[in-house]
């Protein structure tokens, strides 16, 4: 992926991801150091759809490398709102910056941007489709904490129907030989096509259940129930209560169970758990910076 | 046996799955008011397929993009090019590995349905994947 784009986890091979792992490790050591390898480089973060956390993480990564950042968040502030096409916006910013980070609510927008822009494009999330930097951070965190990915028992917990994070993560975990248990409320199971594809591509072991049980798991990756997808908010609330991770749920789990969450979390994990040895999501968020530093360096052909 | 007159020049699309002939006419943009000569045979017997549909159109050539669209609903169809009452060329439609602008992406949230651009699909073993939104579709979903 040197000097190209990062649009989808599907474009990556295991060796690309392993390369990013070692590069991210190196970047961790360089945070706060004197090196500014990207001095005089400009990185544009174009957030047509707001996601403050992802944007800040990218901007922190860029600035840690000594690059400057130009940005906007939400279409309301831009000429897009006045009817300029997406393609025009990309072409214009492509003339200003050396690398474009794009988040957009429409699926395939990052791919289109990459086709149009001369500079590399990183996908910061395109609708329900892909969020490859998040997937790379997730894999990196698990590997860092657990020292391996293959053979791990990973539970993906929550709304597996709508969460794109979970679909890409399943794909990445399959690539690295982890075993996965899909834990979701009835009706929010992961799309069968996605599960079948992962099984065929990686001949991975996938179990499915509607019962929240974390016994035996090495990693529990939790995401929230997307209430906005429900016609009946009460129904969503009820499901979330049933699927909340509480101290009660953690009785009898493995000593070294690691709980991850892409954040922001709302009420899917009891705040009491934040201080437990299992909670690893703040560490995960922090590791987003060195991983995004690695991605930026790679895309700019500097690693 | 139904007798349908021969055409001097044009195309015979054979081996269309029974019931899909009308869809083929739709793909060819043949509807009420069309002035050329067209024959649609439905549910004729076929050794290979049991039952099949056949479309005959006089003075019409089928371009590659149209052949791609036909391949989506009738992957076994063959195109017989007729000149002076003779079949001068017979070819099988074939789903090419990359389909450009043959159909709109069925995903309403796909960028291809919002920007002025051509759709693009890649044919995979398990279905047809949009190159943009990356969703996987069945061929019949694309031709709907
Ligand atoms: Zn699409």
The three-state secondary structure class of A26 is helix
pLDDT in the model for residue B117 = 95
Q: Write out the two tokens for B99.
A: 């389909």
Share of chain A above pLDDT 70, in %: 96
Q: Write out the two tokens for B127.
A: 């279905």
DSSP for residue A107:
B
DSSP for residue A267:
S
pLDDT digits (tens, 9 = 90+) for A188-238: 999 999 999 999 999 999 999 999 999 999 999 999 888 877 888 888 888
* Rounded Cα gap, residues A122 and A66, in angstroms: 18
Q: Please tell me the number of Cα atoms within 13 Å of A257 on its side-chain side.
A: 22
pLDDT in the model for residue A81 = 59
Would you list which residues of chain B are within 8 Å, Cβ to Cβ, of chain A?
Answer: 107, 109-112, 114-117, 126-127, 130-136
DSSP for residue A211:
S
Residue with tokens 């329900």: A128
Higher local confidence (pLDDT), A183 or A33: A183
pLDDT above 60 (res A154): yes
Q: What spacing in Å lies between the alpha carbon of A4 and ligand 1's midpoint?
A: 22
Q: Write out the two tokens for B35.
A: 């002035």
pLDDT in the model for residue A228 = 78
Q: Please tell me the number of Cα atoms within 13 Å of A142 on its side-chain side.
A: 31
Find the closest chain B residue to A112 by CA distance: B132
Q: What spacing in Å lies between the alpha carbon of B111 and ligand 1's midpoint?
A: 7
pLDDT in the model for residue A2 = 53
| Interface touch A86/B111, C-beta < 8 Å | yes
pTM: 0.89
A252 CB neighbour count, 10 Å cutoff: 9
Q: What is the ipTM of this complex?
A: 0.92
DSSP secondary structure string for all residues of chain B:
-------SSEEEEEEEETT-HHHHHHHTT--TT--S-EEEEEEEEETTTEEEEEEEEET----HHHHHHHHHH-TT-EEEEEETTEEEEEEE----SEEESSS--S-TTBGGGTSS---EEEEETTEEEETTT--EE-HHHH--
Looking at the partner chain, which of A8, A111, A128 has a beta carbon nearest the beta carbon of B109? A128
| Interface touch A128/B130, C-beta < 8 Å | no
pLDDT digits (tens, 9 = 90+) for A255-302: 999 999 999 898 899 999 999 999 999 999 999 999 999 999 999 999
Q: Write out the two tokens for A62.
A: 């860029």
Question: Average pLDDT over chain B, rounded to whole?
Answer: 92
pLDDT digits (tens, 9 = 90+) for A71-100: 988 766 566 656 678 999 999 999 999 999
pLDDT in the model for residue A80 = 62
Q: Write out the two tokens for B134.
A: 């990356």
Give residues with Cβ within 8 angstroms of A57, minimum separation 6: A285, A288, A289, A292
Q: What sign results for the dihedral spanned by CA atoms A57, A63, A67, A73? A: positive
pLDDT digits (tens, 9 = 90+) for B80-99: 999 999 999 999 998 889 99
Q: What spacing in Å lies between the alpha carbon of A213 and ligand 1's midpoint?
A: 36
pLDDT digits (tens, 9 = 90+) for A98-142: 999 999 999 999 999 999 999 999 999 999 999 999 999 999 999
- The kind and range of the H/E element at A124 are strand A121-126
pLDDT in the model for residue B1 = 60
- Count each helix (H run) and each strand (E run) in chain A, helices first: 9, 9
pLDDT in the model for residue A3 = 62
Find the closest chain B residue to A84 by CA distance: B115
pLDDT in the model for residue A217 = 98
| Interface touch A107/B134, C-beta < 8 Å | yes
Q: What spacing in Å lies between the alpha carbon of B96 and ligand 1's midpoint?
A: 18
Find the closest chain A residue to B138 by CA distance: A193
Domains and CATH numbers, chain A: 9-130+288-299 (3.40.50.1370), 132-285 (3.40.50.1370)
* Rounded Cα gap, residues B78 and A257, in angstroms: 59
Residue with tokens 């001095």: A39
Per-residue pLDDT of chain B (144 residues; tens, 9 = 90+): 677 888 999 999 999 999 999 999 999 999 999 999 999 999 999 888 899 999 999 999 999 889 989 999 998 999 999 999 999 999 999 888 999 999 999 999 999 999 999 999 999 988 999 999 999 999 889 876
For residue A264, whether the previous peptide bond is cis, meaning omega lies within 30 degrees of 0, is: yes
pLDDT in the model for residue A236 = 87
């Amino acid at each position: 992926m040197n000097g190209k784009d990062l649009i989808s986890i599907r474009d990556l091979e295991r060796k690309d991801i392993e390369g990013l792992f070692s590069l991210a490790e190196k970047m961790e050591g360089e945070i706060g150091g004197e090196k500014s390898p990207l001095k005089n480089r400009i990185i544009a973060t174009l957030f047509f759809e707001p996601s403050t956390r992802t944007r800040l993480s990218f901007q922190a990564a860029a600035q840690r490398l000594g690059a400057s950042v130009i940005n906007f968040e939400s279409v309301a502030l831009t000429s897009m709102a006045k009817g300029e096409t997406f393609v025009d916006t990309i072409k214009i910013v492509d003339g200003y910056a050396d690398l474009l980070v794009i988040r957009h609510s429409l699926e395939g927008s990052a791919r289109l941007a990459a086709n149009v822009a001369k500079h590399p494009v990183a996908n910061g999330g395109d609708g329900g489709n892909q969020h490859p930097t998040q997937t790379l951070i997730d894999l990196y965190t698990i590997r860092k904490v657990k020292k391996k990915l293959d053979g791990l028992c990973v539970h993906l917990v929550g709304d597996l129907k709508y969460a794109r994070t979970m679909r890409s993560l399943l794909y990445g975990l399959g690539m690295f030989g982890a075993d996965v248990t899909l834990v979701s409320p009835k009706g929010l199971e992961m799309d069968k096509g996605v599960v079948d594809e992962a099984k065929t591509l990686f001949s991975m072991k996938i179990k499915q259940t509607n019962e929240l049980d974390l016994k035996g798991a090495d990693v529990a990756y939790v995401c929230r129930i997307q209430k906005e997808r429900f016609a009946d908010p009460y129904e969503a609330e009820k499901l979330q209560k049933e699927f909340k991770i509480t101290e009660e749920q953690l009785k009898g789990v493995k000593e070294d169970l690691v709980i991850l969450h892409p954040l922001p979390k709302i009420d899917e994990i009891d705040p009491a758990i934040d201080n437990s040895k299992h909670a690893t999501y703040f560490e995960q968020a922090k590791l987003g910076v060195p991983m995004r530093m690695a991605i930026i360096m790679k895309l700019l052909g500097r690693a | 046996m139904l007798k349908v007159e021969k055409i001097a020049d044009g195309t015979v699309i054979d081996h269309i799955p029974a019931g899909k002939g009308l869809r083929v006419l739709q793909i060819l943009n043949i509807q009420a008011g069309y002035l050329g000569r067209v024959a649609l045979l439905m549910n004729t017997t076929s050794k290979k397929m049991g039952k099949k549909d056949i479309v005959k159109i006089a003075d019409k050539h089928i371009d590659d993009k149209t052949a791609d669209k036909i391949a989506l609903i009738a992957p076994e169809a063959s195109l017989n090019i007729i000149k002076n009452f003779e079949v001068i060329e017979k070819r099988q439609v074939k789903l090419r590995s990359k389909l450009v602008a043959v159909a709109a992406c069925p995903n309403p949230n796909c960028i291809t349905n919002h920007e002025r651009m051509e759709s693009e699909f890649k044919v995979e073993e398990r279905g047809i994947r949009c190159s943009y939104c990356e969703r996987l579709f069945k061929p019949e979903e694309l031709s709907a």
